[in-house]
Amino acid sequence: MRIARVLSWTRVNRELIIGLAMALGVGTIGWLAIAAALTPDAADASIREFGTLLAVLFGILAAVWWNQSAKLANRLVDQDMPARQSQKDANTLSGAAATFTALALFSSVFAGSPWRSTTSWLCSIGVLLLLAMSGSDIRQEVPISLKQRLEAREVLGFLALAMVTAVFIWRLMT
């Protein structure tokens, strides 16, 4: 019984660390976008671009995971025998897609608000808290997503994700 508690606590800690690391990374990049700006107007524009980037990234990830979840669920309908792991994977993909849909929504509201407004601060806190709580989703989603056979829609989604990130980094450096 004690070993089960220790193992359970270790899993919770690992998931919390992943979520907190994601929140810290996003928070740091947001802070750098503001700190690198020379004027308040440049800081506002920079943080709006960052919020838009987050909305696009989270939205693309949510769309890919919703699509993969639906594919797994459809495979289950086509099979005669019960497939518990596939159902669990489909449910996990759905849960993470829902989380990233909420992240995309918070980020889009954040991007549309002046960065010193109450709305902006509430949305940024919401994004960071949701990321901190989503360590389990992130840890489980990546392996499930990578073991799926990617279709054109998902490949295009991941390519768009890479292109948007590259453009943002390029803009940040220039």
pLDDT tens digit sequence for 12-70: 678 788 888 988 988 898 888 888 888 888 888 888 888 888 887 888 788 777 777 77
Residue 138 has pLDDT above 80, yes or no: no
Instruction: Give the integer Cα–Cα distance in Å for 13 and 75.
Output: 33
* pLDDT for the residue 155: 83
State the Rg of the chain over Cα: 18
- The range of the structural domain enclosing residue 116 comes to 2-173
Instruction: Give the integer Cα–Cα distance in Å for 144 and 59.
Output: 18
Instruction: Give the integer Cα–Cα distance in Å for 157 and 162.
Output: 9
Q: Which residue has the higher pLDDT, 124 or 5?
A: 124
What's the whole-number average pLDDT of the chain? 79
> How many structural domains does the chain have?
1
Average confidence (pLDDT) over 149-159? 82
